[in-house]
Structure 1
Amino acid sequence: MKRIFTLLLALLCLGALAACGDSKEEAKPENAQAPAGETAQAPAGDLLVGFVYVSPVGDAGYSYAHDLGRKAVEDMEGVTTMYQEAVPEGPDSERVITNMARKGAKLIFTTSYGYMDPTIRVAKEFPETSFMHCSGFKTADNAGNYFGRIYQARYLTGMAAGAMTKKNIIGYVAAFPIPEVIRGANAFALGVRAVNPEAQVRVVWTKTWYDPTTEKEAAKSLLDVGADVIAQHQDSPGPQEAAQERGAYSIGYNSDMSQFAPKSHLTAAIWNWSVFYKDQVEKKLNGTWKPESLWWGMETGIVDIAPFGPMVPEEVKAQVETAKQQIIAKELVVFAGPVKNQKGEVVIPEGQTATDEQLLGMNWFVQGVVGSTE
């Protein structure tokens, strides 16, 4: 009898535990935001849209800007989103993209250059899912690519930096020597020299997208050689912090980074991904989405500059704003000839402008940039 009683007691405890587990699951809100890497409970009929990020969404930089766009999509009727942050480029990204497709995502945005080949491979396995890869160039029957002409915003921030430097040495902390980053540094330098032909832009490569410590140290190395303005193509605000600690000015990237260096932050080249993501999701919802190679300009609102810091004089603000309106009206083209390379050779002749093919394959620095493209 004692054994029977013990067995019954054990069964009752197991039953109670199971009941507790069931009630906890039922209490979970149906539309609760999923943790990073998990799928939200999508209402029946909702379009599930996935986003893959190379760095943390709290980086205040690149992935943060993309995630603001995702949140705008989440607010659309009939749409639920999921995301995975800090996904390394390579095999890990292919696994994450595959898992999203398996979980039912019908539109997936992969937001880093190194996700290009994994995106195309997964697209072939899931023909009913649409894929868009950021900053790449490959397409498939169900996969396109996209980017914004952030180099237009970089030109404007270069103008601000060129107007504000006293030593005519501007530091540029850059991630990887790929066309996207080289193109941005060149546009920045062209903006600098449009207002200050004597200034030079010194580039240092970190070979990382997101490493706050490395990026901050790279900025310090530029400050050590006399730079009094620090710009960046990096995801963290580390370079901004280094500039403020040394009493230099700074130019941010991806988002308004003024909160990290309020005494130094002149402005920033920023993204507004919401206008693009909402457009693509709307097309997926109404059945008009197709795999395209899209490169939107400043006139669409996808790229812009952050508000100026209080240290920027009104005349500098006005000069930059005039150039901005000219870019929007397509009266000012950033890469319009004559444009010379570091050796002083004319690469884009007078009367000509760089083609998109030339911009997408850019592997040389313009005159005024100090550094190697390797």
Structure 2
Amino acid sequence: MRITTWMKATALSISTLLSTSVLADDPLKVGFVYVGPVGDHGWSYEHDQGRIAMKQHYGDQIETTYVENVAEGADAERVITQLAKSGHDLIFTTSFGFMNPTIKAAKRFPQVKFEHATGYKRSKNVSTYTLRTYEGRYVSGVAAAMATKTNTIGYIASFPIPEVIRDINAVFLGAKSVNPEVKIKIVWVNTWYDPGKESDAANALMDQGVDIILQHTDSPAPLIAAEKRGVMGIGQASDMSHFAPKSHMFSVRNVWGPHYIRSAEKVVNKDWQPEDFWGGFQDDILQIVSINPSLPQELQAAIKATQAKIKSGEFHPFTGPLLDNTGKEVVAAGYTLNDTELASINWYVEGIDATIPN
């Protein structure tokens, strides 16, 4: 993980604070709720890496607990409630489907601070936090469209929620920016983590002529399937390069540690307030990692240049004019969608020949 000036300053301020804090005798208790296993090598894995970074940063001054493989819905509410009951001061719930269970638990435990990943509902003791994954998806679209030989790229989608729809759009916008002939095929698997389903989806896409695989699911199964058939792919959430050394183009990695350290510091300082936090390339919470050295130099340069333009703020993927795939203008010329609008996208951009499932 890159150590930024902000992180060094944060480390110093937290260390100074905790050396004189009551936490020396009464550790801050922080809980995490994961939708998948910590060994998914994707989304939940990286959240747990963030938890570990927090623990390493604080040492004995903090106590962390995690519960993995928690189903979205009633089971999530039960787990979140149990963490709140057992004295946790701060609870992170890390999947979109945990949103309503988090809000319900927060009403019952107003003394506990909650942070929910990728949702949009907040309250006096509930924050939301997410990543600008669309930035990485746009870069992925550029790379996929430059690498494809069939002009057909494939996307394995989890659930038809705004986050996933937004990222499909970002991939296609990036792809069309360098290859007007490119097409995208989408398979919905209705799961975040199911290696069998993910592998089947990858094979189904490759059977339809797809030669670049992208995914919004959490296991490396699609990349492994691509490696077996000599097709290229892009890793999701964590560095997946070791699962498919020939087929792996690069991974878009989520780095949650800085946010978790920052949130804990605010609880300790008693200045935690509900917020809607978005992290991206600009603060290195979203990263392009392990670019395959076998890729053509022109492609490697395009990946880096596109990331740099987004990171600097020179370019935003959702700046108009943009039409949806029915021809309706959804983003006016010169206008850039704000975070609230980005969090509620429910349309496909022009050129995607598909409909969004109910």
Normalised to the residue count of structure 2, the TM-score between the two structures is 0.90
1:282 positional shift:
1.1
Q: Give me the whole-angstrom Cα distance separating, in 2, the residues matched to 1:267 and 1:115.
A: 30
Q: Give me the whole-angstrom Cα distance separating, in 1, the residues matched to 2:24 and 2:73.
A: 32
1:267 and 2:250 are equivalent in the alignment: yes
Q: Which residue of 1 aligns with 2:313?
A: 330
Normalised to the residue count of structure 1, the TM-score between the two structures is 0.86
Q: Give me the whole-angstrom Cα distance separating, in 2, the residues matched to 1:157 and 1:352.
A: 23
Q: Which residue of 1 aligns with 2:105?
A: 122
The one of 40, 45, 64 aligned to 1:64:
45
Q: Which residue of 2 aligns with 1:52?
A: 33
Deviates more, 1:337-346 or 1:326-335: 337-346
Q: 1:276-287 alignment to 2 at 5 Å?
A: 276-287=259-270
Q: Contact (CA 8 Å) 1:250, 1:264: kept in 2 or not? A: yes
Bigger radius of gyration: 1
Q: Give me the whole-angstrom Cα distance separating, in 2, the residues matched to 1:119 and 1:343.
A: 36
Q: Deviations over 1:97-130 (max 9, x none)?
A: 1111122110000001111111111111111110
Q: Deviations over 1:131-187 (max 9, x none)?
A: 000111111111111101111011111111111101100010000111000001111
Q: Give me the whole-angstrom Cα distance separating, in 2, the residues matched to 1:372 and 1:67.
A: 34
Instruction: Give the superposed CA RMSD.
Output: 1.4
Q: Which residue of 2 aligns with 1:146?
A: 129
Q: Deviations over 1:277-300 (max 9, x none)?
A: 111111111111111122223211
1:353 and 2:353 are equivalent in the alignment: no
Q: Give me the whole-angstrom Cα distance separating, in 1, the residues matched to 2:149 and 2:294.
A: 14
Code of the residue aligned with 2:165 in structure 1: it is: I
Given the superposition, is the C-alpha separation of residues 221 and 266 from structure 1 closer, same or farther in structure 2, using an over 3 Å criterion?
same
1:258 positional shift:
1.2
Q: 1:1-374 alignment to 2 at 5 Å?
A: 44-77=25-58, 78-374=61-357
Q: Give me the whole-angstrom Cα distance separating, in 1, the residues matched to 2:57 and 2:267.
A: 13
SS at match of 2:57: coil
Code of the residue aligned with 1:85 in structure 2: it is: E
1:367 positional shift:
2.3
1:211 positional shift:
0.7
Code of the residue aligned with 1:70 in structure 2: it is: R
Q: Structure 1 unaligned runs (5+)?
A: 1-41
Which 4+ stretches in 1 moved above 4 angstroms? Answer: none
**Paired residue total:** 333
SS at match of 1:64: helix
Q: Structure 2 unaligned runs (5+)?
A: 1-22
Deviates more, 1:303-312 or 1:349-358: 349-358
Q: Percent identity?
A: 46
1:43 positional shift:
7.2
Q: Contact (CA 8 Å) 1:204, 1:371: kept in 2 or not? A: no
Code of the residue aligned with 1:149 in structure 2: it is: R
Q: Which residue of 1 aligns with 2:4?
A: none
Deviates more, 1:240-249 or 1:347-356: 347-356
Code of the residue aligned with 2:346 in structure 1: it is: N
SS at match of 1:365: coil
